[in-house]
Structure formats: structure tokens, C-alpha cells
Amino acid sequence: MPTADAENAPENAVENAEHRDAGARLSTAPREEATLDVPSLGPIGWARWAWRQLTSMRVALILLFLLSLAAVPGSLIPQKDVDPSVVEDFKRRHETLGPIYDKLQLFDVYSSVWFSAIYILLFISLIGCIVPRTWQFVGQLRGRPPRAPRRLTRMPAYTTWRTDAEPEKVLAAARSALRGRRFRTAGPDASPAGGSVSAEKGYLREVGNLVFHVSLIVMLLAFAAGTQWKSEGGKLIVEGDGFANTLTQYDDFTSGALYDAGDMDAFGFTLKDFEASFERSGPQRGTAREFRADVTYWEGADGEEKKTAIEVNHPLEVGDTQVYLIGHGYAPVVSVTDGQGELAYRGPVPFLPQDGNITSTGVIKVTDYRDKDGEREQLGFQGIFTPTYGIDEVRGPHSTFPELDYPVLSLNAFHGDLGVDSGLPQNVYQLDTDNMEQFKDDDGDLFRADLRPGESVELPNGAGTLKFESVKEWASFQVSQEPGEGWALGGAIAAVLGLAGSLFVQRRRVWVRAERGEDGTTLVEMAALGRSESARIPEELGDLALALQSDAPPAAERAEAEDTERERTAAGKTAAAPGATEGAGPSSRGETE
């Protein structure tokens, strides 16, 4: 008679063999034929793998993060397309970092190779993500909501009751109620004993996702177009002076690589008056209340002059060009007579503000000048203009309020060679004193003059006279052409709306089944399923059930019998367990009877 071990010998042998194989696989000892065959994908396989990785949501989010991270140096390090002079000054002050930043293209971040690579990869990733999702969504719209599952009781939201209404009537009422709540419906799917209705809602969630991604592409294209075809220039204009939209009229001008100067809009304008007012009391003292430039402008060579006002955030728009008001200051009107008594210079000189009270600095350059002996020379004046004069030991002359309450012009005077004839470009707001000597008074002290409007001062050694005649105001304007600005704004608004739709719209499905039972009543089952967890799904199903019960009311006799049965069950449990808590009973998952 065979023993149990003998009977199980084959199974034991198989089990021991499996253990040996497992031990061999876990062993670190070298084995023959232990090489792992890795399938070769080939060029096409690797290309497909790379495309799937690039168009995945994970990689798109990584690229979006890298793009925002790559833009950080552009806001911290001076850029050539914004202000080349600041970049050159940075290189002079940082002899080690300057060349490194230049090689890494950190002075041209937004046109650098590495920023463009991230930009293009993100663009391709978004397109590769959107196209298949769009076709999939179109297929869902063209298809029918899925049929009701066999067991609706497994759905997270479920309710049921019995009614004397016919199944066909219940399903027709259910379909009408669902359509009234903007559900897409399918059915009823008929069966010998009844049928079911399927409904789906919340397609705007996927529409929001697609709109969001498409909007990102629109914004990327708009930014790219704006970078390549944009132009931007600055112009400082004193009251009474004008501007024509040509390259030679700009103080500074930058444009994209594909911009054509022939595309400039033909227009011009004259600054007639500038109005500025400031708060005079309270914690906001000195804060600007009004900045307004009153101008007359014309379009074309023979256009009629029109009056308008340019204010902050209210630019002048001519064709595709916007003229923005960006700055304000004062221009003292100064006249200089030379040593021969001839007028050598007269005009307004813009001084640049240095603080909120418009303490301003500037220079006056007199190139056509003769000294008392008739020898040609050049004069230069460095000065501080204060709209409301004040002085202390720490700051020296400074302004205490930005309006012209007590204007004073403080100047130092130099004579010699200004360097303007060397052919090298100079900053009109700086004075090169390397080849100049400062005037000294009769006591041998450095010459300095503080003048009020209408006052004049004699220069030392019969060098002439300087007069502070009056004060004009100036305004600085930014003239821009940004072809993708409207598209970028529209894309940003659409992206916000799409994101809101994808976050707040719930995709859900509802099924209603009505079948005749053996007792002659109709069993109605309703279930709902959401794509994500939401407390609104059971509430919405309950509202639908209440709406449907107006056409399919619960069977009265059955409801009374079930109530009686519940009372008997509760009484029996109370008698069996007198210490039980009143009201304790079996849960029903919220089902409605």
C-alpha cells in the first residue's frame, strides 16, 4: 500500500525542481547561458519610443517647468535687446562673469539656442498630445453613451424602487428627464421584460482640456511672432517738439529678426502740453494722481491733425502701432553767451529724474563757443535740477516735492574739449571731463551757481554769461508694434476658461433600468458613475430619482407591506436585545424603496 509520501512524490519532485530553479535565479554565482536577450527596437522602434515619451503629459509638464525656469535669467541678467548699454556696463564691472555669460547666451536668453530648443520641444509635445486626444474626443461625441452594466448595484451611487407604471412609460419619462438636464441619451434598449436608458454629461470637461492646450499653442505662436516681427523704440519729447515715425527720430530702437522698417506706420505727433498732479498731504504725499500728455497727431504724409490725450495705460493707437506714455520730467531752458557777447546756446535741456520727488541730473554742452580772446573752445555744465529745492548735510541739494513749487538749477562749469568731434558716440546725459578743466572763481574755489528761473550768472575770467530762463516739461514715449499681442491675450483668456472648465465640470454617466417583476410591478434601478470622486454625483442621482417618481411613483401596497415588515423586525430585535440602542438597524447604502 503506497504511503502518502509516495503518492505525492511526483508533486514533490516538481515542487523541488521549482525551488531549485528559483534558487538558481536568486543565486549570485555565475551561470552559463545567463545572458538576457534585449530585443532590438531598430530606428523606427526607437523613433516611436521617443515620440511617445515626448508627447506624454509628464514630459510636457517637465518642458513647461524648464521653460519657466529658463526665463528666470532673462529677468535677472541685463538683455541686449532691452538695453545694450547696460549689458556693456555689466561686462566692464564683471570681467570674469561677463565672458561666461556671453558664451552661455545669458545676455540673449529669449533668442538663445537652449531656450529655443525648450520652446520648440514644448510646442511639438503639445501638438502631439492634442491631436490624438482631439480625434478620440470626436469619436466619443459621435458614439453613444455606453449601455447599462449588468449589475448596477456595483456603481458608487445607486437607488431602486418598485412602481405600478409600465416599463416603457418609466423609460420614456427617464429619457425625457435626462434630456431636460442636458444629458446625451441612448436607448431605451428593449428586452423581453423591460429595458434601460443610458445617459452621459460633462463633455465640457474634455473640451476645457483641449481648449487649454490649444490656447497654450496659440500663446506660444503669438510670443514667437511677437519676438520675430516686433519693434520697440523710445523717444523723449519736450513740450512744443514733435516726432515722426522714422528710424532716425528714435532715441533707441530694437526690433525682431524678421522686422522690416518699411512696415512702419506713417504718422507723427507733437507734444502740446503735459499735465501732472501729485498728492500734497497724507501718507500718499508725492504720489502721482494724473499724468496726461496732450498731443496733436496725423496719419500719412498729408493727414489731418487731430487732438488727443495719451495717458498711462491709455496709449495712442495708429494702425498697428501703440504709443505709450512711460515717463515725465523737467527741462530747464538755458541760454549761454560767449566771451564775445554772442549767443552760443539756447534751448531746453532734459534732466533725468533720480528719485520720486524728481530730483534730476543733466548736462549742458556748448560746442559753438569763443572765449574773451576769440579762441574757439567748448563749455560743459553738470547740474542738478530740483522742482522744490531743499538741502541738508547728508543729501546736499535735493527736491522735497515733485511739482514746481521752488525750482532751482545748481551747476558746475567746465571748459575744454567735450570730445564730441572724436567720432565716438556719447551719452547726451553724461559729460566727459577727461579733457576739460573746471572753472574757478576769484578766490580759487571751484565755480558753482544756484539759479532760480530768470536769474543769470557771470562765468569766471570773462568767459560769458549763463541764464536760467524758464522750465518746460518733457515726456518719454514708447512706440511699439507687437503683431501677436492680441492673439497672446486671447490665448491667455481662453486658457483660463479652459482650465476652469476642466477643473469644475464633472464627467458622469447615468443609467436607468426598468423591468417587470414576477409580482406584476416594475423594478426601477438608477445608478451613476463619475470620472472622479464627487459628492455631487449621489445628490444629482437623488434629484433625478425624485423627478422620475412623479411619473413612476412607488407601489403603495408594497411600500406599506415593507414598512410593516420593518416594524416587526425592529420589534423582534428590541425584544431579543433590550439593551440595544434605539434606531440601530442595517444600512441600506442610501437606497430608496
Quote the CA–CA distance of 504 and 178 in Å, as a whole number. Answer: 20
User: Quick one: pLDDT at residue 9?
Assistant: 46
CA torsion through residues 135, 138, 144, 147, sign: positive
Q: What is the mean pLDDT of residues 125-142?
A: 80
User: Quick one: pLDDT at residue 449?
Assistant: 92
Q: Which residue has the cell 538576457?
A: 36
Quote the CA–CA distance of 524 and 548 in Å, as a whole number. Answer: 10
What is the SS3 assignment for 222? helix
More confident residue, 257 or 5: 257
CB 363 within 8 A of CB 382: yes
Element (H, E) at 236: strand 231-238
Most confident range (mean pLDDT) of 187-201, 278-292, 334-348 is: 334-348
Q: What's CA 554's distance to the chain center, in Å?
A: 56
Q: Which residues pair with 288 in a beta bridge?
A: 278
Q: What are phi and psi of 162, to 5 degrees?
A: -110, 145
More confident residue, 372 or 469: 469
Q: Which residue has the cell 411613483?
A: 553
Quote the CA–CA distance of 190 and 151 in Å, as a whole number. Answer: 17
Query: Is residue 86 pLDDT above 90, yes or no?
Result: no
User: Quick one: pLDDT at residue 49?
Assistant: 83
CB 438 within 8 A of CB 460: no
Q: Which residue has the cell 554742452?
A: 365
Query: Is residue 589 pLDDT above 90, yes or no?
Result: no
Query: Is residue 3 pLDDT above 50, yes or no?
Result: no
Q: What is the CA radius of gyration of the chain?
A: 42
Of the listed ranges 9-23, 103-117, 407-421, the least confidently predicted one is 9-23
Amino acid found at 360: S
Helical packing angle, 42-54 and 113-142, nearest 10°: 90
Quote the CA–CA distance of 502 and 495 in Å, as a whole number. Answer: 10
Q: What is the mean pLDDT of residues 170-186?
A: 90
Q: Which residues pair with 402 in a beta bridge?
A: none
Quote the CA–CA distance of 467 and 416 in Å, as a whole number. Answer: 20
The string of pLDDT tens digits covering residues 498-532 is: 888 888 888 888 999 999 888 888 899 999 998 77
Looking at every residue in the chain, the average pLDDT score rounds to 82
Q: Quick one: pLDDT band at residue 11, thresholds 50, 70, 90? A: very low
More confident residue, 534 or 161: 161
The closest of 505, 510, 499, 498 to 534, measured between CA atoms, is 505
User: Quick one: pLDDT at residue 567?
Assistant: 56
Per-residue DSSP letters for 496-538?
HHHHHHHHHPPPEEEEEEEEE-TTS-EEEEEEEEESS--THHH
Query: Is residue 6 pLDDT above 50, yes or no?
Result: no
More confident residue, 438 or 28: 438
Q: Which residue has the cell 472648465?
A: 501
Query: Is residue 15 pLDDT above 50, yes or no?
Result: no
CB 507 within 8 A of CB 530: yes
User: Quick one: pLDDT at residue 182?
Assistant: 87
The string of pLDDT tens digits covering residues 455-490 is: 999 999 888 999 999 999 999 999 998 888 888 888
Of the listed ranges 2-11, 44-53, 285-294, 501-510, the least confidently predicted one is 2-11
The string of pLDDT tens digits covering residues 315-325 is: 999 988 999 99
Q: Which residues pair with 322 in a beta bridge?
A: 317, 480
Q: Which residue has the cell 447615468?
A: 510
Element (H, E) at 455: none
Q: Enter the C-alpha cell of residue 36.
A: 538576457
User: Quick one: pLDDT at residue 561?
Assistant: 52
pTM: predicted TM-score of the whole model, two decimal places: 0.62
Quote the CA–CA distance of 7 and 1 in Å, as a whole number. Answer: 10
CA torsion through residues 221, 223, 226, 228, sign: negative
More confident residue, 2 or 268: 268
Residues with Cβ within 8 Å of 507's Cβ and at least 6 positions away in sequence, in order, are 200, 201, 202, 203, 205, 206, 530, 531, 532
Query: Is residue 35 pLDDT above 60, yes or no?
Result: no
Query: Is residue 25 pLDDT above 60, yes or no?
Result: no
Q: Enter the C-alpha cell of residue 90.
A: 555689466
What is the SS3 assignment for 404? coil
Quote the CA–CA distance of 509 and 525 in Å, as a whole number. Answer: 14
User: Quick one: pLDDT at residue 160?
Assistant: 92
